[in-house]
Amino acid sequence: MTELFETAVEEAKVLKQRPDNDELRALYGLYKQGTVGDVDFDRPGFFDIPGKTKWDAWNKQKGLSKDEAKAAYVKLVEDLKEKYGIDL
């Protein structure tokens, strides 16, 4: 799974079109869950909007094992490759 995950991480960087914000949040949340596990710090404060958005995306994946999150990340990247194409 680790090799597939690492390949998906690289492929996500070379999509022909930037994913929309919901897709980017999903990628971020699954990536963090797959590499770190459950979010391990408090939600950022009111004025840190980007930090709160990232925290929320990560926390949404809470409870998934690292392997489950990595598998979901790989699946999402495959879907995005079909939707947007990839530059190799």
Cα(24)–Cα(63) distance, integer angstroms: 20
Q: Read off the pTM.
A: 0.93
CA distances from 75 to 25, 41, 47 (A): 15, 27, 33
- Would you list the domain boundaries of the chain? 2-84
**pLDDT-derived band at 87, boundaries 50, 70, 90:** confident
Most distant CA atoms of the chain, gap in Å = 40
Domain 2-84: assigned CATH number: 1.20.80.10
* Mean of pLDDT values over 68-75: 98
Residue found by looking up tokens 């991480």 in the block? 9
